[in-house]
Amino acid sequence: MTQHDTMISIRNVGKRFGPVVAVEDACFDIRRGEFFSILGASGSGKTTLLRILAGFEAATSGAVFIDGAQMDAVPPHQRPVNMVFQNYAIFPHLNVRDNIGFGLRKLKLDRAERQKRIGAMLDLIKLPGFGDRHADQLSGGQRQRVALARALILRPKVLLLDEPLGALDKQLREQMQIELRALQRSVGITFVLVTHDQEEALTLSDRIAVMADGRVLQVDTPAGLYERPCSRRVAGFVGNMNFLPARVLSQAGGATSIDIPGCGTTCSIATKRLEHCSSDISLAIRPERITLHRSRPAAPAIAVAGVLRDRMYLGERTHFQIELEPGGATVAVSSSTMKAEALGTIGPGAQVWLSWPEDALIPLGNE
């Protein structure tokens, strides 16, 4: 990646509030034109990091560069970024038009040009004719669009979004996700989104940084995070995951033999996938990578027996909970409802078999 491709460079950024460490040694780049998400639970430091980018908080250590320029001593009003706030911060004393045009004062535009730009923004956010509405006459979704227009009208190098969809109900949120993605493509501005909703991050982003306890755990594409999580925390945070305790037995050639006590079986995994792992590891496996059988399958070498404990119908998919050992932990299996129907009517207590392809197992160190 060349310097030219990098829009934001976060270099060893740390932030403390008194004794509390909010962000610790964050270090990653955000590319030009990218839709980037910072994903984490509340208190993970993601919002603090975003506010450091906007200039509302000063980093205690490290440096932030935006488009090659160091930002530490640059106050918020001089930074080439604009922000969509969590509760939108629509100015209550102004109407929609004046809210959107708030940042234009400094450009000293004449009236016609100003109105033209605001009109174009109103069209962009699909609210033409709303210019004279007052802030308190807008619905949640409309407020969100106005906040977007107000930030985009200044053509920032980066648009920061702080949980912009958090206040909306589920249906509206899904619709706005699609619009947000389309908007980002059409304006071509770098978006940095902060969210606690992993589904939102996966749907919208080109790349995602996962944060927990002030640390950046992993920066990767959605598929990379989902398929190759680097730790149990990331694996557990992005999507659903089963964790099977396992132990390294022996190495031979390029493969390592691993014992999975809970399943009463062993398997072998390419040794290079086991770098950084000690002998006690966890094997992570996505519920949808597990296949359910009513009798011992012939094809895969490894098949594990279990007892069905619960079955949940979720429309397109059906979820199962399977107990591998009596009284032991259960494994979640997600199957398309069509396949589940094919199994026939099995209920709790039924004997079942599980199988999975070898590459579905993700070895992770136990931290």
Partner 1 sequence: MEESPSAARMPLRNRLQGVLIRHESLRGFLLLAPALVILGITVAVPFLLMSAMSLWTQIGFDYADDWSLRNYTAILTEPLYTTLLLRSLTMAMVATFVTVVLVYPMAYFLAFHVHSNKLIWLIIITLPFWTSYLLRVFAWRVILGYEGVINSGLMELGLIGEPLQFLLYSRVAVIITLAHAWAAFAFLPIYVSLEKIDKSMLEASADLGEPPVMRFFRVILPLSMPGVIAGTFLMFIPTVGDYVTPTLVGGPDAAMIGNLIQLQFGTINNWPMGAALAITMILSITLVGLFFMALMHGLRRWAR
Partner 2 sequence: MTERFEFHKPNRALQLYAGLFMAMLYVPILFIPLFSFSDGLYIRFPIESFTLRWYAELFERTAVLRALENSVRVAVSVAIVSTVLGVFAAKALARYRIPGRGPILGFILLPLVVPPIIFGVALLLLVSALKIPLSLYTIAAGHIIICLPFAIATLLPRFEGYDAAMEEAAADLGENGWWVFWRVTVPIILPGIVASLLLTFTVSFDEFVMAFFLGGTDLTLPLYIWGQLRIPRAFPVVLALGTLILLFSFALVFIGLRIGRRGAIKLVDRG
Q: Which does 70 bind (CB under 5 to 8 A by kind): partner 2, partner 1, none?
A: partner 1
Q: Is 58 in the site for partner 1 (CB under 8 A)?
A: yes
> Which of 5, 27, 41, 72 touches partner 1 by CB under 8 A?
72
Which residue, 40 or 55, is less far from partner 1 as judged by CB?
55
User: What is the token pair recorded at 93?
Assistant: 């004393």
Task: Kindly report the length of the chain.
Answer: 367
How many residues in the shown chain lie near partner 1 by CB under 8 A? 7
Q: Pairing state of beta strands 158-162 and 190-195?
A: parallel
Of residues 11 and 293, the one with the C-beta less far from partner 1: 11
Determine, following the binding rule CB under 8 A, whether residue 49 of this chain makes contact with partner 1.
no
72 binds, among partner 1, partner 2, none (CB under 5 to 8 A by kind): partner 1
Q: What are phi and psi of 171, to 5 degrees?
A: -65, -50
The one of partner 2, partner 1, none whose footprint includes residue 111, by CB under 5 to 8 A per kind, is: none
Closest distance to partner 2 from the beta carbon of 79 (Å):
8
- State which amino acid sits at residue 187: V
List residues near partner 2 by CB under 8 A.
17, 54-56, 75-79, 81-83, 85-87, 89, 91-93, 102-103, 105-106, 150-151, 154
Complex with partner 2: residue 54 or 192, whichever CB lies closer: 54
For the beta carbon of residue 224, count every other beta carbon within 10 angstroms: 14
Query: Please, what is the minimum distance in Å from the beta carbon of residue 90 to partner 2?
Result: 8
Q: How far is the CB of 70 from partner 1 (least distance, A)?
A: 7
Structure tokens at 281: 């590891």
The stretch among 71-79, 181-189, 226-234, 312-320 that binds partner 1 (CB under 8 A) is 71-79
- Alpha-carbon gap, residue 364 to 285, rounded angstroms: 11
Task: Provide the 3-class DSSP secondary structure of residue 117.
Answer: helix
Is 48 a binder of partner 1 (CB under 8 A)? no
Place of tokens 């460490």: 21
What's the min distance (Å) between Cβ of 89 and partner 2?
4
Q: CA separation (Å) from 145 to 130, 202, 222?
A: 11, 21, 26
CA neighbor of 96 nearest in space, from 48, 128, 52, 57: 128
Helix (H) or strand (E) holding 153: none
What is the rounded CA–CA span in Å between residue 234 and residue 362?
12
List of residues contacting partner 1 (CB under 8 A): 55, 58, 63, 70, 72-73, 75
